[in-house]
Amino acid sequence: QVQLQESGPGLVKPSETLSLTCTVSRGSVRSVSFYWGWIRQAPGKGLEWIGSIYYTGNTSYTSSLKSRVSMSVDTSENQFFLSLSSMTAADTAVYYCARGGVSTGWFYNWGQGILVTVSS
């Protein structure tokens, strides 16, 4: 069973850029069968899809964050990354990385999530 693990800072200052890493084990980010996604959840709120990336580097982002988001993948390290710039308190959330099938569309495997708080 594939495993995903998020890592990064738990605290970010306003206006700074958040950088998160998702490390994949027992599976390969190079697989042609999967997309790799980032999803967040503000405290007490629903899930918000941030974006997804394919191993080739092809990306898709939600329109509301498109100007601030960047995703990349490192197949040699079996990792993919999220960068979110100009952070504000509204970006405080648990950030999840997840795996979705190319021919499906849902996220079956999720990381445990990492709480990111934006505060000075």
Positions touching another protein (CB under 8 A) are: 35, 37, 39, 45-49, 52, 54, 60, 62-64, 96, 100, 104-108, 110-113
Between 21 and 49, CB nearer to another protein = 49
Q: Residue 4 or residue 118: which is nearer to another protein going by CB?
A: 4
Question: What DSSP assignment string belongs to the chain?
Answer: --EEEEES-SEE-TTPPEEEEEEEESS-TT-TTEEEEEEEE-TTS-EEEEEEE-TTS-EEE-TTTTTTEEEEEETTTTEEEEEE-S--GGG-EEEEEEEEETTS-SEEEE---EEEEE--
Minimum distance, C-beta of residue 37 to another protein, in the bound complex (Å): 8
If the CB atoms of residues 49 and 78 are measured against another protein, the closer one turns out to be 49
In whole angstroms, the minimum distance from the beta carbon of 14 to another protein comes to: 25
In the complex, the smallest distance separating the C-beta of residue 20 from another protein, rounded to whole angstroms, is 16
The structure tokens listed for 96 are 């999840």
Give least dist CB 23 to another protein, A: 16
